[in-house]
Amino acid sequence: MKTENKRVLWEPILEQNPIATYILGICSALAVTTALDTALVMAAAVTAVLACSSTAISLIRNHVSRSTRIIVQITIIATLVILVDQVLQAYLYAISKRLSVFVGLIVTNCIVLGRAESFAMRHPVGVSFLDGVGNGLGYSSVLLLVALVRETLGSGTLLGLPLFAPAEQGGWFVPNAFLLLPPSAFFLIGILIWGLRSWKRRQVEEAEFRIVGVEDMGWS
């Protein structure tokens, strides 16, 4: 594989992660990460939608007018999401019920439209496909990491199978119910972003404003 293609495929995982670097697609990352199985299915769904939408949009990129391009992109994305949702309802019914609206909400996932608008509209089909897959993998890696922490420490299970002996049944493990609540994912993603940016300093954004301290108010 050419180095350029490799870069497009692997960069979204650590260097340009859609969640950790660009803070996109946070909503579903909070909602579907209480268990690893839902996170896995969601990750696969988003990756499939991303890869197909980037490919399809790149295919017609030279024939879409500037004024209607967002409408066309959203139509394609929505179609793919409906297809994924229908397939999940047919073949993974239990998990699709647990994912509930969040599969449908992939339409509004900023990562998908973001890649379509900023990448697929200006690049050839092959590399657009790789970009879609790469960003899907970037999204998936954060989702799976968060879900892994939340499920193991929040319920003491892994993929639904008991991992630690819970205290209720005479074991040692006390599940932390806080990890099953949506705010915990915020903290985990926050810690993840902090860690990543401490390691890869290049991702640190310049501050847009300074938080006003007490001394600035002249109260001290």
Partner 1 sequence: MPSKRKGLLEALREMPNDSSTKTLLVTLAVTSVCALLVSTAAVLLRPVQLAHQEREREEQILGIASRLPGIEQLMGTIEAPRLESRLIELETGRVIESGSAADYDLLLAASDPRQSVELPPDEDIAGIQRRALFAPVHLLMQEDEVKLYILPVYGSGYASTLQGYLALAEDGNTVAALTFYQHKETPGIGTRIDRPEWRSQWQGKKVRDEEGRLRIDIAAGTVPDSSPEAAYRVDGITGATRTTRGVANLVRFWLGDYGYGPYLARVRSAAAPDAGASP
Rounded to a whole number of angstroms, the minimum distance from the CB of residue 9 to partner 1 is 26
Sign of the torsion formed by the C-alpha atoms of 87, 157, 24 and 99 = positive
Distance CA 58, CA 122 (A): 7
Helix 69-91 with 36-59: angle, nearest 10 deg: 140
Of the two residues 62 and 220, which places its CB atom closer to partner 1 in the complex? 62
Of the two residues 3 and 62, which places its CB atom closer to partner 1 in the complex? 62
Cα distances from 2 to residues 6, 11, 14, 69, 134, in angstroms, run: 6, 14, 19, 30, 15
Rounded to a whole number of angstroms, the minimum distance from the CB of residue 148 to partner 1 is 28
Rounded to a whole number of angstroms, the minimum distance from the CB of residue 105 to partner 1 is 17
Rounded to a whole number of angstroms, the minimum distance from the CB of residue 194 to partner 1 is 39
Count CA atoms within 13 Å of residue 20 on its CB side: 33
Of the two residues 85 and 151, which places its CB atom closer to partner 1 in the complex? 85
Rounded to a whole number of angstroms, the minimum distance from the CB of residue 64 to partner 1 is 6
Of the two residues 103 and 196, which places its CB atom closer to partner 1 in the complex? 103
Distance CA 105, CA 72 (A): 18
Structure tokens at 125: 């089909």
Distance CA 149, CA 151 (A): 6
Of the two residues 24 and 99, which places its CB atom closer to partner 1 in the complex? 99
Residues making contact with partner 1 (CB under 8 A): 60, 62-68, 71-72, 75-76, 78-79, 82-83, 86-87, 89-91, 93
